[in-house]
Amino acid sequence: MSSASFRKKLLAVYVALVFAFIYGPILVVLVLSFNEGKNTSSPWTGFTLNWFQAVFRDRPMVEAGFNSLYVGTGATIVALLLGVIASFIFIRRQFRAKSAFSLMIIAPFLIPGSLYGISLLMFFAQIGFDRSLVTIALSHAILITPLVFLLVSARLATFDRDLEQAAQDLGASRLAVMRYVTLPILTPTIIIAALLAFTWSFDEFIIAFFTAGSSNTLPLAIWSQLKYSLSNRLNALASLIFIFSFITAMAGAFVFSISSKKKRRVEEEI
C-alpha cells in the first residue's frame, strides 16, 4: 500500500472516530430509552416502550411540549416577517449606515445567549411587562431573525432582477410582480429558513430561561429534570426530541438539495 493511500485511510478512520465522539452519546441514549432497566445507567435487560408511554402520561411535560410548539410557531412567523423585510431593505436599497444596519440584524447571533437573556429579563421587569410565553416568543423572534436574514438576503443577492423587469414590462403591477415572480423564487429559501428557525426556537433554552413566566417550554422542563432528577423517562424524551429535530433538519436539507438541483437544471437549459 502506498503511503498516500495509507494516510487517506488513516484520515478516514479519524473522521469516523470524531463522528463516534459526536454521535455516540446520543445513540447510547436512543438505545437506553428502550431498555427495561430501572435507572438511566442500568445495563440492558430487555426491550420496552414503557418509557415512551410514561413521557406522554406526564401532563406537565406534554403541556411544555405544546407550549414549545406555540412559541416556536409564533417566533418563526415574526422572524420570517422581520427577516424577509430586512433582507429586501438590505439588498434592494441604498442608504448610509448599511453595514451598521446589517450588524444590528446579525447581532443576536453574535451576542452570548446568557447575556441577551439577562438584558431581556431586566428590560421586561423595568417596563413592567409580565413575562409569559409571549415574551419568550418575541425574544426568540429577534434571536432567529438573523438566520432568516442571512439565508434570504443571500438568495436575493443572486436574484436575476431582469425577471421582475420583464414582468413589469408585460404590464404586471408591483403587487403582481411580488406575488407571481419574486415570492415563488424565494419560497424554497423561506421554507428552509422557517424549518431551521422553528427547530432553533423549539430547542432554545437560555433565553427562554430568562424570559419565561410561569409556563414552561420543553427545554425548561427538561432543565429542571436534569438538575433535580435523572430518570429513564428522560431517555425516551431525549430520543423523541432528537428524532423530531433530526427530521426537521433533514427536511430542510432535502428542500435545499431539491431547490439547488432545480436551479442547476434551469441554468443548464438556459
Please list every residue from 219 through 258 that binds another protein, using CB under 8 A: 219, 222-223, 226-227, 230, 234-235, 238, 241-242, 245-246, 248-250, 252-253, 257
Between residues 70 and 205, which has the closer beta carbon with respect to another protein?
205
Count of residues interacting with another protein (CB under 8 A): 82
Measured distance CA(205)–CA(77) in Å, rounded: 19
Neighbours of 239 (CB within 10 A): 20
Rg (CA), the chain: 23
Instruction: Fill in the per-residue mask, 130 to 149: x = in contact with another protein (CB under 8 A), - = not in contact.
Output: --------xx--x---xx--
Contact 189, 155 (CB under 8 A): yes
Residues 107-126 that bind another protein (CB under 8 A): 107-116, 118-123, 126
Instruction: Fill in the per-residue mask, 31 to 70: x = in contact with another protein (CB under 8 A), - = not in contact.
Output: -x-------xx-x---------------------------
Cβ at position 14, least distance to another protein in Å: 6
- H/E stretch holding 33 reads none
Contact 167, 176 (CB under 8 A): yes
Which position among 8, 98, 179, 262 is part of the footprint of another protein (CB under 8 A)?
A: 8
The one segment of 50-58, 172-180, 200-208, 261-269 that binds another protein by CB under 8 A: 200-208
Between residues 108 and 181, which has the closer beta carbon with respect to another protein?
108
Angle between helix axes 218-228 and 232-269 (nearest 10 degrees) is 140
Between residues 22 and 266, which has the closer beta carbon with respect to another protein?
22
Between residues 32 and 181, which has the closer beta carbon with respect to another protein?
32
Instruction: Fill in the per-residue mask, 65 to 104: x = in contact with another protein (CB under 8 A), - = not in contact.
Output: -----------------x--xx-xx---x--------x-x
SS3 breakdown of the chain: % helix, strand, coil, rounded to 5?
A: 80, 0, 20
Written as one string, the DSSP assignment of 44-99 is P--B--HHHHHHHH-HHHHHHHHHHHHHHHHHHHHHHHHHHHHHHHHHH---TTHH
Which position among 200, 201, 212, 233 is part of the footprint of another protein (CB under 8 A)?
A: 200
Residues 159-188 that bind another protein (CB under 8 A): none
Contact 111, 146 (CB under 8 A): no
